[in-house]
Amino acid sequence: MTRSLQAVPAADVTTFREVMGHCPSTVAVVATMTPNGPIGCAATAFLSLSVAPPALVVSLDSQGRTLSDITEAGRFAVNLLSEDQHELVRTFSQTDRDHRFDEVDYLVEDGVPLLSQACATLSCRLTQAVPALDHTLLVGLVVAVGQVGAEPLLISRGRPHRALPITVDPPVSIVRAS
């Protein structure tokens, strides 16, 4: 297969999003509590930063209100959606932000909203908010975790997918080189 690269003008957001859509991502609802109740948004840009101490990074739109609520609260939750929660992607990205939790089963623990059926949840204390172009990187120190054993929801090219395991022996693990 022959492939050629093409320049992407800064204004060509559509082409950039199409290309990045080929990178399957897990989907999380990043949320915090405000005096008026829970607030959150869908996010696919997050990663483990450190294991000692346990920390992660979440990237949120700098103009989004969820970001300002998290920086004010100083804590947030990352709720990794399970494969059966694909409808929540639309809820937490398109529904009016003040009503996103109206039909969602959640509990508040450690001062953050945790989605009851999320395959995994991480409660974080905000340690840094780093502006990066049109987004802000939130560095969170993980203070509590939980999991329900469900498989994670994947998004690829704008569509939900299930992860199918590939059996290898021995299992693959990424370890730090000495």
Q: What is the mean pLDDT of residues 124-138?
A: 96
Query: Structure tokens of 153?
Result: 């929801």
The enclosing H or E element of 143 equals: strand 135-147
Tell me the C-alpha distance between 172 and 17, whole Å.
30
Binning pLDDT at 50, 70 and 90, where does residue 174 land? low
Length reported for the chain: 178
Specify the pTM.
0.84
Tell me which of 13-22, 26-35, 133-142 is least confident.
13-22
Domain assignments of the chain as residue spans, ordered by start? 19-162
CATH fold for the domain made of 19-162: Pnp Oxidase; Chain A (2.30.110)
Q: What is the pLDDT of residue 38?
A: 97
Q: Is the pLDDT of residue 17 over 80?
A: no
pLDDT per residue as tens digits for the range 31-89? 999 999 999 999 989 999 999 999 999 999 999 999 999 999 999 999 999 999 999 99
Q: Note the pLDDT of residue 11.
A: 61
